[in-house]
Amino acid sequence: MSKKLYVGSLPYETTENDLKELFGQAGAVTSANVIMDKFSGRSKGFGFVEMSSEEEAQKAIETFNGHQLGERTIIVNEARPMEERRPGGGGGGGGRDFNRRSNY
């Protein structure tokens, strides 16, 4: 069964092919994704690698957590499930807080 890994503190130039090549040293890579900012198109400095087995994923964590990639020390651990987000986007505005009593 495949296992997804979180890879953090990536150099911004890192590509998905770079991740596949690096993690391929620990075993078969099912997929590799570098997370990109949708507005700037730049890397956010983290990504995910899916290894084909639990054993290969564990080997990748042991081998690459704390590994120097470019000028950065990367973080590798088991990916957690994505947390559910509330609909409607965030935001919050400035201005008055009409939920409190005030002297306006």
pLDDT in tens, 8-51: 999 999 999 999 999 999 999 999 999 999 999 999 999 999 99
Higher pLDDT, 2 or 85: 2
Q: Give the helix ranges, DSSP H, for 1-104.
A: 16-23, 54-64
Which of 23, 24, 25 is closest to 6 using CA atoms?
A: 23
pLDDT at 100: 55
- What is the band of 88 on the pLDDT scale with cuts at 50, 70, 90? low
pLDDT in tens, 54-83: 999 999 999 999 999 999 999 999 999 888
State which CATH number among 3.30.70.330, 3.90.226.10, 3.40.50.20, 3.40.720.10 fits the domain covering 3-78.
Answer: 3.30.70.330
Structural domain boundaries in the chain: 3-78
pTM for this entry: 0.80
